[in-house]
Amino acid sequence: MAISKKPKVSTPVHKHKPLSMYEAVLARFNQAADIYKLPEDVAATLRVPQKQVKVSLPVMMDNGKVKVFEGYRIIHSTYLGPSKGGIRFALDVNDDEVKALAAWMTYKCAVAGLPLGGAKGGITCDPRKMSPGELERLTREYTLAMCEVFGPDRDIPAPDMGTGKREMAWIVDEYSKIHRHYQPGVVTGKPITLGGSRGREAATGRGVMIHTLEAMKKMGIDRKKSTAAVQGFGNVGSYAATLLRSKNINVVAISDYTGAYYNERGIDLDKALQHQKKHGNTLEDFPGGELITNEELLTLDVDVLVPAALQNQISADIAKNVKAKLIVEGANGPTEVEADEILHNKGVIVVPDILANSGGVTVSYFEWVQNKQGYYWKEEEVNNKHDVYMQQAFEQVWYNSKQHKTNLRLGAYITAFKRLEKAIRYRGIY
């Protein structure tokens, strides 16, 4: 492959404006509801979030000036249990995006068979341009503003893009101070010393690996002869890549927001991780592969493509040129609605986000259970339980998609509908 000029990786190819994220959720929801014949009262209940909270967060910046940030927490549903979902710190966070992510959490928890509802939170900010002190004050202010929304039996946040165990530790501390007793179960994704679970950090990438193996078995792909390209080298992408590699799948391309790299012999992932550590957490100027564009990465001739960065990366135009046989959606919403049909007609199997990246919330659930028990499991136990949950979820989604003669995405929604409809009926609507 020819070496390209430095790519602008953040711009996917779009000929027209994509649907908003929540419109995309509703489009798929409505398609699946039609196929499954979801009763309209249940559908109407699930089409809207249960609660939406928006807060203004004044924060003293390091330069002595006050900056006011916007924060959100949207509870999509609590029919199956307390709501669960991450907190995103990013510049483009807005209520439409948070609403979509919250709804996906409802379906994700239901698909994985967890006794949890769905929620999501976010703050519109650029965490890369903020100091640790500014981020701490912002996170604590947000926790204070949300102290009546969050709760170990009410709504349990977790990390998402731009947040990690450090922010979760601040939330536990602030929430525990407000409530005057230690409450580790109020968030998951915590440091292990504060009641975090072993295996949580790698869990979403591990789930991506398990779903890739399950799909390959169904499709008759020999993993030892297979290749993969992974977009995004953060929490999900870096673990997904290294775990795929550990199963003898040759990862030939990786990327982050600074660029994409291709090596037909396989990327040396240890070197990539070391490079990332030394270069401000980026792959910039990584010498282990040719610099290619984002579009080239997404359309490489590989067996598996793992989008694990941002939403709306696989547009209809990209979909027409995708050569991978299997797409495993590590990210939330990486494939646009119009691309679904194109990929389906080309015979590309897409393991959808609400199944593919549900490993993270599954181990978050285990973390919450361990906090409630005050008893902590070994990593092997966590991983074994995780793998069983993921394999069962995959089987059910595969079965439902075959039963209803549809793709795995709509099969996953149908799997979720079956559980949600029962819960809503038992609890009752009055």
Binding site residues, ligand NAD, CB under 6 A: 9-10, 159-162, 204, 231-237, 255-257, 294, 308-310, 330-332, 357, 360
DSSP string of 256-268, one letter each residue? ETTEEEE-TT---
Q: What does the alpha-carbon distance between residue 357 and residue 344 come to, in Å, rounded to a whole number?
A: 20
Measured from the CB atom, the residue of 160 and 340 that comes closer to ligand NAD is 160
From the list 191, 208, 162, 186, the residue with the least C-alpha distance to 360 is 208
Three-class DSSP category at 9: coil
Measured from the CB atom, the residue of 83 and 231 that comes closer to ligand NAD is 231
Q: What does the alpha-carbon distance between residue 274 and residue 276 come to, in Å, rounded to a whole number?
A: 5
Q: What does the alpha-carbon distance between residue 328 and residue 355 come to, in Å, rounded to a whole number?
A: 9
Measured from the CB atom, the residue of 28 and 38 that comes closer to ligand NAD is 28
What's the min distance (Å) between Cβ of 271 and ligand NAD? 16
Measured from the CB atom, the residue of 292 and 343 that comes closer to ligand NAD is 292
Measured from the CB atom, the residue of 21 and 32 that comes closer to ligand NAD is 21
What's the min distance (Å) between Cβ of 314 and ligand NAD? 12
Rounded to whole angstroms, what are the CA distances from 288 to 29, 76, 275, 283, 351?
42, 43, 10, 10, 29
User: Which residue of the set 84, 108, 120, 190 is catalytic?
Assistant: 120
What's the min distance (Å) between Cβ of 84 and ligand NAD? 11
Rounded to whole angstroms, what are the CA distances from 397 to 214, 278, 401, 416?
12, 41, 6, 9
Q: CB within 8 A of 253, min separation 6: which ones?
A: 229, 230, 260, 261, 262, 263, 267, 289, 292, 297, 300, 302
120 is catalytic: yes
Measured from the CB atom, the residue of 195 and 234 that comes closer to ligand NAD is 234
Q: What does the alpha-carbon distance between residue 39 and residue 223 come to, in Å, rounded to a whole number?
A: 41
Name the DSSP class of 226.
-
Phi, psi for 252 (deg, rounded to 5): -100, -10
Question: From the centroid of its chain, how far is CA 165?
Answer: 16
DSSP string of 149-207, one letter each residue? T-BTTTEEEEE-TT--HHHHHHHHHHHHHHHTS--GGG-SS--GGGTPPTTHHHHHHHH
Tokens in use for 427? 């609890």
What's the min distance (Å) between Cβ of 308 and ligand NAD? 5
Q: Tell me, what amino acid is at 155?
A: D
Q: What does the alpha-carbon distance between residue 11 and residue 193 come to, in Å, rounded to a whole number?
A: 40
What's the min distance (Å) between Cβ of 319 and ligand NAD? 17
Which residue do the tokens 């007609």 mark? 345
What's the min distance (Å) between Cβ of 254 and ligand NAD? 9
Question: From the centroid of its chain, how far is CA 21?
Answer: 14
What's the min distance (Å) between Cβ of 425 and ligand NAD? 29
Measured from the CB atom, the residue of 42 and 269 that comes closer to ligand NAD is 269
Measured from the CB atom, the residue of 330 and 406 that comes closer to ligand NAD is 330
Give the residue nearest to ligand NAD (CB): 234
What's the min distance (Å) between Cβ of 316 and ligand NAD? 18
The residues carrying an active-site annotation are: 120
